[in-house]
Structure 1
Amino acid sequence: MLVDTDTGIDDAVALLYLLATPGVSLEAITCTAGNVGARQVAANNLALLELCAHAGLEVAIGSEVPLEVPLVTTEETHGDQGLGYAVLPPPRCSVSTRHVVDVWLEAARCHPGQVTGLITGPLTNFALALRAEPELPMLLKGLVIMGGAFNYPGNTTPVAEWNTHVDPHAAKEVFAAYEGLPQEKLPVVCALETTERIECTPEHIDAIAAGAGAGPERLSPDEAEGTRSTNRNAVVACLSDALRFYMEFHRQHGQGYIAHLHDLFAAMVATGECGVAERLATVDVETQSPLTIGQTVADVAGMWKREPNARIVTGTDPEAVFELMVRRLSQLARMHG
């Protein structure tokens, strides 16, 4: 797998899940600006790899700004460093000297039909890779994208989801590049109408701690904001401190003391461990209107008379997602905490 990410809190949980999943071989992690700046994203990824004894995996930076619009980041959602209240030691490893585009193209060309791409941030880097190699979709085994919202409210504007809104022009280019390709090559899109069903609660974090033999880790909405974990297990403490911040954010916005783990769900779709229902569609992205910029529009009925360019996930099983999350992350924390 190749993972392109703008590592905030839910991206971090997705990465830990991938590191804990047997049979998943990460070629590299590529970084894009989104939740925080691209260089902070890279530092987060390096630190998380070292936390889990995976130091040495290539971490590369691509574009530090969107294709055409100014960069907007969201520290209010993910914390100043992108990991909520979690503070990890500065990484000892360095960022790769290679550009993201070179990483993607070399991996796809050296392993044609074998690499699955997972993109949990804005599509800037992948759009640049497509410009350099239009055949990239056919060289990859498949692609999973977390982004968009279809007939569902946005989480950034009334109609736009965060990743797409950060770089709508990149998203438009990516979907256009897939139009008319074989169905099995079309990107699988995990949009808000499914990812917002993945509601992490304090009980899930406590279950991870218990499964790791790390004792109770009980987050409570009654505790003061900013309370930090005292757990001796470093992985459990990192998860707890990151997700506490995310839960506080969701509560501030009237969604309850929960955390939407958008990117964890997309990662499980990419590994094939999470069975989902899909529908074919032709997706396009609004890039001109100040009112609706970043909106993703799906033509399912063929009204545009254009070929499909996406497989949109239409259903999932949140209970199964969290059972798998607890099992995988408990094992990770037990081994590396």
Structure 2
Amino acid sequence: MTAFLLDVDTGIDDALAVAYLAALPDTEFVAVTASPGNVDADQVARNTLALLELCGRPGVEVAIGAREPLSIPLLTTPETHGPQGIGYAVLPEPYGAVSARDAVELWVEHARARPGELTALITAPLTNFALALRMEPRLPELLAGVVIMGGSFYYQGNTTPTAEWNTHVDPHAAKEVYAAFEGQPLEKLPIVCSLDTTERMELHPVHVRQLAEAAGAKVAEEVLPGQPEGQPSTSDNTLVRHLSDALRFYFEFHRRYDQGYLAHVHDFFAAGVAAGTLEFQARPATVDVETGSTLLMGTTVADFRGLWGRAPNARIVADNNPGQAFRELVSRVGALAARLG
């Protein structure tokens, strides 16, 4: 059993990551918290609560922490994820309510209550996690492990030429988080899933079709580049229909920016790394984040050779296996969709 503290900014690829984790039989959602990023934090929380219920995980506490980055104005991305954050999908209204508790306090409380048991997965800007580290500097020791989706090292950024989205939204938080892990034992260093390897996770229309087939859907699910933009899914399977509508928006976004009719599902990969189900290799490095330069704001820099004379503070994923990852995704989420009907 892997018990998760999960921080998200749901988000199409966050939604796929949550659905994947919900599909695993041995995962516990201890708490899921909302950071502002793809959409504002209140919308993130509503999306996440509705999605968990849709995926057969009702009753998970979903809480909001920060509503703004630490030091700069919030930048959201409706052009990438849609005005509500989940593309063309319209999730059912959740039965449950967003928690009245503070997300940061929730993280610290759970980590203190279950030392060495909880895996932290952050697929959002690192705002809430930085605040939790301020409140409890022992979090690196208290958590069983940490996985972060963020950064770009030997790869073009997806927000500026050098900066990845999550880090660019709150570079000051990211800088604090990496600094907090400097000098920790290797096994306690966060595993960082950067664009260098997450952009190898290219989800294509064939994967959507395979997902519907694995779910036993009676209606073939064809999301194709020649179809009208925004064409709604007619799938008889509820989860497939919602994921398909979300992914169609993502396909169209990537095509608009000359990347092809596909979707980079960064957060799904990070979720699989955190769950221990996806193949990868990582290298230790010392990571720092640029916060002073207008030109390079949010750029992540990794020292793999010890040139700074500082201890490593991260393990950066250097290789992965997209084929294995998508077979796992289709199998697991397809089976969940089949169970839910």
What TM-score range do you get, normalising by the shorter chain? over 0.9
d(CA) in 2 for partners of 1:122, 1:116:
17
Question: What's the offset of the Cα at 1:110?
Answer: 1.0
Post-superposition offset of 1:107: 1.1
Q: Paired residue for 1:143?
A: 146
- How far apart, in 2, do the equivalents of 1:281 and 1:53 lie? 39
1:327 to 324, 331, 341: 331
**Equivalent position SS for 2:192:** strand
Match of 2:109 among 106, 109, 134: 106
Match of 1:235 among 228, 236, 239: 239
In the TM superposition, residue 142 of structure 1 has moved relative to its aligned partner by: 0.5
1:25 lines up with 2:28 in the alignment = yes
Equivalent pairs, count: 337
Scaled by the length of structure 1, what TM-score is found?
0.99
Q: What is the one-letter code of the residue matched to 1:136?
A: L
- The answer to whether structure 1 residue 50 and structure 2 residue 53 are counterparts is yes
Percent of paired sites with the same residue: 60
CA distance in 2, matches of 1:292, 1:313: 22
Deviation at 1:88, TM superposition (A): 1.1
> How far apart, CA to CA, are the structure 2 residues paired with 1:54 and 1:121?
21
The residue aligned with 1:200 is 203
Work out whether 1:280 is the aligned partner of 2:281: no
Matching residue of 2:168: 165
Letter in 2 for 1:139: L
Preserved contact between residue 279 and residue 324 of structure 2 (Cα < 8 Å): no
d(CA) in 1 for partners of 2:230, 2:155: 32
1:131 aligns with 2:140: no
Once residues 198 and 152 of structure 1 are traced to their aligned partners in structure 2, the CA distance between those partners, rounded to angstroms, is 14
State yes or no: 1:249 paired with 2:263. no
**Which region of structure 1 is more displaced relative to structure 2, 49-58 or 4-13?**
49-58
Q: Which deviates more from structure 2 when the two are superposed, residues 314-323 or residues 95-104?
A: 95-104
Given residue 58 of structure 2, which amino acid in structure 1 is its aligned partner?
Answer: A
Q: Deviations over 1:311-333 (max 9, x none)?
A: 00000000000000000110110
- RMSD of Structure 2 on Structure 1 (CA): 0.6
2:279·2:325 contact (CA, 8 Å) conserved in 1? no
- Alignment partner of 1:187 out of 190, 193, 198: 190
Hey, what's the Cα distance between the residues in 1 that align with 2:83 and 2:141?
Answer: 38
Give the drift of 1:233: 0.9
Quick check: 2:191–2:315 contact (8 Å CA) kept in 1? yes
1:336 to 316, 337, 340: 340
1:218-277 per-residue CA deviation (whole Å, 9 max, x = no partner) reads 111000101000112110000100000000000000000000000000000000011211
Q: Kindly indicate whether residue 6 of structure 2 is the aligned counterpart of residue 3 of structure 1.
A: yes
Q: TM-score, normalising length from structure 2?
A: 0.98
The separation in 2 between residues aligned to 1:103 and 1:328, in whole angstroms, is 29
Residue in structure 2 matching 1:258, options 249, 259, 262: 262
Per-residue deviation, 1:53: 2.3
CA distance in 1, matches of 2:332, 2:44: 23
AA partner of residue 340 (structure 2)? H
- 2:17 pairs with one of 14, 30, 45: 14
In 2: Cα distance, 1:22 partner to 1:275 partner: 19
Partner SS state of residue 239, structure 2: helix
Q: Give the deviation of 1:29 after TM superposition.
A: 0.5
Give the aligned partner of residue 43 of structure 2: 40
User: Residue 27 of structure 1: SS of its match in structure 2?
Assistant: strand
After superposition, the C-alpha distances for 1:182-220 in whole angstroms (9 at most, x for unaligned) are 110000000001000000001001101001110310111
**CA positional deviation for 1:91:** 1.2
Counterpart for residue 271 of structure 1? 275
Q: Which one-letter code corresponds to 2:329 in the other structure?
A: M
Q: Secondary structure at the match of 1:306?
A: coil
Residue 223 (structure 1) aligned to one of 194, 205, 227: 227
Query: C-alpha separation between the residues in 2 aligned to 1:132 and 1:305?
Result: 28
Q: Equivalents in 2 of 1:178, 1:212: separation in Å?
A: 41
Letter in 1 for 2:315: R
For the Cα contact (< 8 Å) 2:9–2:37, is it kept in 1? yes
* Alignment counterpart, residue 313 of structure 1, candidates 314, 317, 324: 317
Gaps of 5+ in 1: none
Q: Secondary structure at the match of 1:220?
A: coil
Q: Distance in 2 between matches of 1:107 and 1:162?
A: 28
Please, which of 82, 86, 91 is the counterpart of residue 89 of structure 2? 86
| Matches of 1:88 and 1:158, distance apart in 2 | 34
Matched, 1:289 2:293: yes
